[in-house]
Amino acid sequence: MQKKEIINREAADKSKGFRLQKLRAAKLALKTVDAITEYSKGKVYFATEYLGDVYINTHKGDEQIYVEEDKNYSSERNFSLNSPQIKNALVAFLDLWFDFNLSNNVRFGFYTTANISKEKETSFIKSLGLKLPNQALLESIKDVDSINSKTIELFKQIITHEYELQYSSKSNQGNLGGIKKLSDDDWAKFCSLINWEFGQEDHKSLEIELIDIIKESKFYSSSQHAGKEEIIRSMILESLDSSQANDIKALRVLGEVDLKVVFLEVASLDHSHMPDDPVYKIWNDLTPSDSRNLKEKIREVTTVFSEKRLSNYAITVSRSLIESQKLETHNNFIAMRFRIYEHCNRTLLRWLNDHPNDIYTEKEIDELNDYLITSCVNYIEGLKSDFNYSFSSRAVIEGVIIQLFDTCYLSYEN
């Protein structure tokens, strides 16, 4: 079977407002991260010029994909269904919809500073023998609940004709065969997947709005980030710039951890005058010999330990692994990990001497882990008077400790 030749629209229009795209991606990513982690566990990935101008991928049980096209024009500019920008976006959305097997889990957006105008009666529309409604077609398809069969007929005829024109110079017809087989219900469903936003803020207004969204982020701390919001905004946009330039397409996508790292780095700026802790040089010289993972180590010293609790620890290990992969290039993080390892070793020896048992309860293991975390947080906080530790929140320290148990470094035995 001949492979379909699908029109590549990534970074196709150099006149587009790249600033607007990055601001929209940053805004949607921050708001999505806060929403998904408030109500359920999940992951968020985002990018610009990936499948579309803005790409948001959300995992919470199943994959939800949002692709947006952005157009930054003067407020005097208006779009109709006949506008090339609208037609290009709809043809691209159709191709993506077919790529995802007409799934409800992929949704689309069209964001623009321009407004809506009524369609002119072109020669093609006249040839259909159909009369344009009094209301602009874009207004009609925006209001999915009141869309009627006449609107659907006009919409599908205009877009199918445009699709055919765009693929007329290609080696094959893309998804034209499948598009011609779509029922009116399918077209109505397609319309329902598109979020149209006309007359919206331009990049200058979005820059101001993004500051407020940064302040509302779960990563934001007024004590650590107040007055540094513009730095955070610049660093997020710079991350999008850098990732977009990557030759490997998969590496153009950023995630929640990238946002978190930005906030952590900015929080550390107040300590930038402090020297790095030189003990980072010792870490690679450690030669641990215990090859058991966290689950095996817990099973070794307990008779009963709930699978749910083990699963929670496994999630912490996974989260910490992602964080450490991002932070491995920072000497102050490696130094902090060594300090945590050293402190936990000392603390564990004292605790095990005070609790000389071979078997412990689930509660005792949980209490020990909580004690280690609190003790290390206080220990690192004390060291901050001498050294710079950029990534030292309680959550990061907790992840480091649990990961040290999961690897070869710490155990619950003498």
| 274 φ, ψ (degrees, to nearest 5) | -80, 145
153 CB burial (10 A radius; 0-12, 13-18, 19+): middle
Q: What does the DSSP 8-state code read for residue 119?
A: P
Per-residue pLDDT of 17-45, as tens digits, reads: 688 999 999 999 999 998 886 555 678 99
* pTM for the structure as a whole: 0.65
- Give the span between the Cα atoms of 68 and 193, in whole angstroms: 11
Alpha carbon separation from 88 to 47, 196, 247, 320, 396 (Å, rounded): 20, 14, 25, 42, 45
pLDDT at 23: 95
| 195 φ, ψ (degrees, to nearest 5) | -105, 110
- Give the span between the Cα atoms of 360 and 308, in whole angstroms: 18
Cβ-Cβ contacts under 8 Å for 124 (sequence gap 6 or more) = 158, 161
- Profile the chain (414 residues) by mean pLDDT over runs of 10 residues: 58 58 96 76 87 92 91 84 94 96 96 91 80 87 85 92 91 92 95 95 90 94 86 91 81 90 84 78 86 92 91 91 86 93 93 86 91 91 82 88 93 87
- Give the span between the Cα atoms of 160 and 352, in whole angstroms: 73
- Give the span between the Cα atoms of 391 and 268, in whole angstroms: 8
The residues facing 194 across adjacent strands are 108
- Give the span between the Cα atoms of 301 and 24, in whole angstroms: 51
- Give the span between the Cα atoms of 207 and 19, in whole angstroms: 9
54 CB burial (10 A radius; 0-12, 13-18, 19+): buried
Q: Where are the domains of the chain?
A: 274-406
- Give the span between the Cα atoms of 150 and 141, in whole angstroms: 11
DSSP 126-184: HHHT-PPPSS-HHHHHH-GGG--HHHHHHHHHHHHHHHHHHTTTSSS-TTHHHHHT--H
| 67 φ, ψ (degrees, to nearest 5) | -125, 130
pLDDT at 1: 47
CB distance 149 to 184 below 8 Å: yes
Q: What does the DSSP 8-state code read for residue 348?
A: H
pLDDT at 345: 93
Residue 199 burial (CB count, 10 A):
11
CB distance 340 to 397 below 8 Å: yes
- Give the span between the Cα atoms of 100 and 83, in whole angstroms: 26
Q: Is 115 helix (H, G, I), strand (E, B) or coil?
A: strand
Calculate ∠ Cα 159-165-167, nearest 5°.
Answer: 105
User: Are β-strands 106-112 and 115-116 bridged in parallel, bridged antiparallel, or unpaired?
Assistant: unpaired
- Give the span between the Cα atoms of 30 and 254, in whole angstroms: 12
Per-residue pLDDT of 286-327, as tens digits, reads: 888 788 999 999 999 999 999 989 999 999 999 899 888 888
Longest CA–CA separation in the chain, Å: 90
Residue 148 burial (CB count, 10 A):
10
